[in-house]
Amino acid sequence: QVQVVESGGGSVQAGGSLRLSCVVSGYIHRTSICMGWFRQAPEKEQEGVAIISDRDDNAYYVDSVKGRFTISQDTAKNTVYLQMNSLKPEDTAMYYCASTPYGCPRIPGSADFGFWGRGTQVTVSA
């Protein structure tokens, strides 16, 4: 049973930083694990924020976070991180960690990921 558990959300003023963590456990065979972050703000569609492959550390970022967010991983700890700097009010959302054992898609969509955490709230005030 694969489990995904996020931590690290909170409230911060614009310009501040937060670091999200996610532990993914339960994979029996590590083939091509992709882990990443999605977010959903009230009345907006869910969007893929950043994903990373355990094979080569290649990462994808949605345009709105490029240069501000960094995704990284510690495969020994089955953990993925999202360092969020220069936060803006429009980054306010519920952030979800997700994983799939079938490799990273070129552009992440929620249907590509079968395992999800419960989410952690990020609130950025002006």
**% of the chain beyond a pLDDT of 70:** 99
Q: Check residue 55 and give its pLDDT.
A: 85
3-class secondary structure, 112: helix
Q: What is the pLDDT of residues 32-52, one digit of tens each?
A: 899 999 999 999 999 999 999
Mean pLDDT of 89-113: 95
Asked if residues 16 and 124 have their Cβ atoms less than 8 Å apart, the reply is yes
pLDDT at 61 over 80: yes
Decide if pLDDT at 58 tops 90. Answer: no
The number of beta carbons lying within 10 Å of the beta carbon of residue 7 is 12
Q: What is the pLDDT of residues 15-34, one digit of tens each?
A: 999 999 999 999 877 678 99
State the average pLDDT over residues 54-77: 93
Q: What is the mean pLDDT of the chain?
A: 94
Give yes or no for a contact between 73 and 55, defined as CB atoms under 8 angstroms apart.
no
Confidence (pLDDT) at 64: 97
Tokens, residue 70: 């960094």
Q: Which of 10, 7, 34 is nearest to 23 (CA)?
A: 7
Residue 114 confidence (pLDDT): 95
pLDDT at position 9:
94
